């Protein structure tokens, strides 16, 4: 069975879309997923399944809708895909604080017009690189003050997306390849 990183967008933010991770793990296991592990409370899951990443996303979305009563964006990368995301990090030499270094996972590659708009709003020291379905971004003044982050976090991309800081990305990779718990 292949291991997958499952990324949920917009759960457990303030009082919106609350899901207890033990309850989510139990529901996923009851639905046939194996070796289900979660990391922090913001929708980071590693699990094993014979299904493709696309099918895993569909099944997880349907389960959350049925069991918890709301629809969330679910993006999935296989363990091999996540390993490649980390390996090809184009900002590794400048992104020295993992909390200010993000990877935005998208459902499909960004259109050139969206990339051009992101370039126009990026702060003077911010940098980003788009590779495939990931946007690597560096926010040296902090994510909260970043006009680029506002673009990445909003619906302006025009496609489904969710971001994780570098610590979360590398932790999920370790969980996917070593079976490491929380």
pLDDT digits (tens, 9 = 90+) for 86-120: 999 999 999 999 999 999 999 999 999 999 989 99
Q: Please state the rounded mean pLDDT for residues 67-73.
A: 92
Q: What is the value of pTM for the model shown? A: 0.92
pLDDT of residue 181: 42
Residue holding tokens 């992104």? 95
Sheet of 73-78, strand order: 34-39, 44-49, 2-9, 73-78
Structural domains of the chain in order of their starting residue, each with its CATH number = 2-78 (3.30.70.1280), 84-170 (3.30.70)
* pLDDT tens per residue, range 147-157: 888 777 767 78
Dihedral, CA of residue 34, residue 58, residue 63 and residue 74, to nearest 10: 90
Average pLDDT, whole number, for the chain?
92
Q: 126, 91 in Cβ contact below 8 A?
A: no
Angle at 142 between CA 139 and CA 147, to 5 degrees: 65
DSSP 8-class letter at 162 = E
Residue 64 CA to residue 1 CA, distance in Å, equals: 22
Q: How confident is the model over 20-63, as pLDDT tens digits?
A: 999 999 999 999 999 999 999 889 999 999 999 999 999 999 99
7: closest CA among 50, 55, 60? 60
pLDDT at 133 over 70: yes
């Amino acid at each position: 069975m292949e291991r997958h990183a499952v990324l949920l967008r917009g759960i457990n933010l303030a009082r919106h879309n609350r899901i207890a991770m033990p309850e989510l793990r139990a529901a996923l296991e009851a639905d046939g997923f194996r070796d289900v592990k979660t990391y922090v409370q913001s929708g980071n899951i590693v699990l094993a399944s014979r299904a493709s990443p696309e099918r895993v996303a569909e099944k997880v979305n349907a389960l959350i809708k049925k069991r918890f009563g709301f629809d969330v964006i679910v993006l999935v990368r296989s363990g091999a895909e996540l390993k490649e995301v980390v390996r090809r990090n184009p900002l590794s030499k400048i992104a020295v604080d993992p909390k200010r270094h993000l990877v935005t996972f998208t459902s499909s590659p960004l259109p050139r017009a969206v990339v051009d708009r992101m370039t126009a709003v990026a702060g003077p020291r911010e940098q980003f690189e788009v590779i495939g379905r990931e946007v690597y971004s560096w926010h040296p003044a902090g994510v909260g003050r970043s006009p680029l982050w506002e673009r990445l976090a909003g619906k302006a991309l025009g496609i489904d997306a969710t971001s994780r800081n570098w610590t979360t990305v590398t932790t999920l990779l370790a969980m996917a390849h070593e079976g490491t718990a929380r």
